[in-house]
Amino acid sequence: MAAADVIVLGAGIVGISTAVQLARRGKAVVLVDRGEPGRETSYGNAGLIQREGIVPYGFPQQFGQILRYALNNRIDSHFHWRAIPSVSSFLAKYWWHSNLSRHQLIARAYAPLIEHSISTHNELIEEAGAQELIAKNGWTEVFRTSAKRDGELREAERLKQEYGVAFEALSPGDLAAREPHLSHDFAGALRWEDPWSVKDPLALSQAYVRLFEKLGGRVLKGDARSLSKTTSGWRVVAGDGTVEAKDVVVALGPWSDVVTKPLGYSFLVGVKRGYHMHYAPKGNAVLNGWLLDAERGYLLAPMNQGIRLTTGAEFARRDAPKTPVQLARAEAAAKAIFPLGERLDQQPWMGARPCTPDMMPVIGKAPRHDGLWFAFGHAHHGLTLGPVTGQVIAEAILGEKTLIDISAYRPERFNA
């Protein structure tokens, strides 16, 4: 039997960051996962630390827009008909929380997490020596119509006034100067200036793991379902035996229910599945920055592995077989605006984003168990919010004042 101060279950970016933040504060930490760190949902993101992402992605409110999504032929959204009954409760509450007035209140509660995303990442990036993985030139939304462009620029101005985010409006000529190999299909663009881009999300996760181990942390393979209560804390089967600790953090993303349900907690967490594929550019074509085709709903990112094409959200059962129809649609649209060449991956990658209906993560102490802490449900912003989530959880475990007030993210809001 091995002893530790804290066990962290789940080695995605949130779990890794939590383990690092605890180790930085002198705690003996064991990070437990069934696989290799950073290989699940954290592997397949768009590689953005989204300082501008104040407003979480909401459910459409206009009836006509909902009808268009119901046709199930889009890139930004796709659903499995068979999954609808099992996710209907989640979708109904997601729709309810996405009402304009409620959505704005949620954004105000969400903003403090986002506001510390760059600074908390920067601390870990510098300590991990991972600067070469980071680009600090923002990212760009491109618009096919002036109506979409003008609406998004108005929203960007509102966010600038209310939350201090920085942006730049780009004319078609400005866009062409920045991305000379992009087609001329666009009426303009919006460049978010604050966000950082990650050239290899897996490599960043691995750099944080190396920092964790340098700080004395241990990474063990184990099954989170083996977690059990002891007289003085918690025990999990990992490595060649068991590990015991006073505190345990559940950071298992979309698989958090394998621990929370047996302990009597019921969280309404859905999944948005997503896909990516890497491509070589044709000829001498170069993509200079991260680019979202706003009306189509896919993103192109010039990563170390190639140009990564990412899709929108697929509503399906978490463990259902892959159905990468969105990727095929996105590939056709992307090739029409940029000279993408051959696929570089043997098969499409798929991951599952854990989403709460109020679009905010679950962060805090379990209401009915001492030493049990939750850190999951980050939806599209797991990479963005990993280090700040880890910091506030570490501070809460140590009984310190947290960097921000985390009461809005408390588990009790689900009456779990």
The better pLDDT of the pair 240, 246 is held by 246
Cα distances (angstroms) measured from residue 310 to each of 47, 65, 270, 294, 398: 10, 22, 20, 13, 38
How does pLDDT run across 312-333, given as a tens digit for each residue? 999 999 999 999 999 999 999 9
| Helices and strands, counts by H and E, the chain | 11, 22
* Residue type, position 210, single letter: R
Q: In 3D, which of 105, 164, 56, 121 has the Cα closest to residue 408?
A: 105
User: Which of the residue ranges 30-39, 66-75, 105-114 would you say has the lowest mean pLDDT?
Assistant: 66-75
* Residue type, position 147, single letter: A
The better pLDDT of the pair 236, 1 is held by 236
Task: Quote the pLDDT of residue 1.
Answer: 77
User: Which of the residue ranges 47-56, 61-70, 267-276 would you say has the lowest mean pLDDT?
Assistant: 61-70
Confidence class for position 62, pLDDT limits 50, 70, 90: confident
pLDDT at residue 416 tops 60: no
Q: What's the rounded Cα separation, in Å, for the pair 144 and 146?
A: 7
Q: In 3D, which of 397, 29, 390, 34 has the Cα closest to residue 213?
A: 29
Q: What's the rounded Cα separation, in Å, for the pair 276 and 307?
A: 10
How does pLDDT run across 194-222, given as a tens digit for each residue? 999 999 999 999 999 999 999 999 999 99
Task: Quote the pLDDT of residue 234.
Answer: 98
Task: Quote the pLDDT of residue 283.
Answer: 95
Alpha helix stretches (DSSP H) within 71-171: 84-97, 100-115, 117-128, 146-163
Alpha helix stretches (DSSP H) within 169-307: 172-178, 201-214, 257-260
- Pairing status of strand 29-33 against strand 2-9: parallel
Q: Could you tell me where the beta strands, DSSP code E, fall in 267-325?
A: 270-281, 291-293, 298-303, 306-310, 313-315
The chain-wide mean pLDDT, for the chain, equals 96
How many residues are present in the chain?
Answer: 416
Task: Quote the pLDDT of residue 415.
Answer: 75
Task: Quote the pLDDT of residue 63.
Answer: 86
How does pLDDT run across 241-297, given as a tens digit for each residue? 999 999 999 999 999 999 999 999 999 999 999 999 999 999 999 999 999 999 999
Q: What's the rounded Cα separation, in Å, for the pair 243 and 265?
A: 23
Phi, psi of 103 (to 5 degrees): -65, -40
User: Which of the residue ranges 12-16, 82-86, 214-218, 412-416 would you say has the lowest mean pLDDT?
Assistant: 412-416
Average pLDDT of the residues in 355-364: 97
Can you list the domains of the chain with their CATH numbers?
1-61+99-133+197-269+356-415 (3.50.50.60)
Percent of the chain whose pLDDT exceeds 90: 95
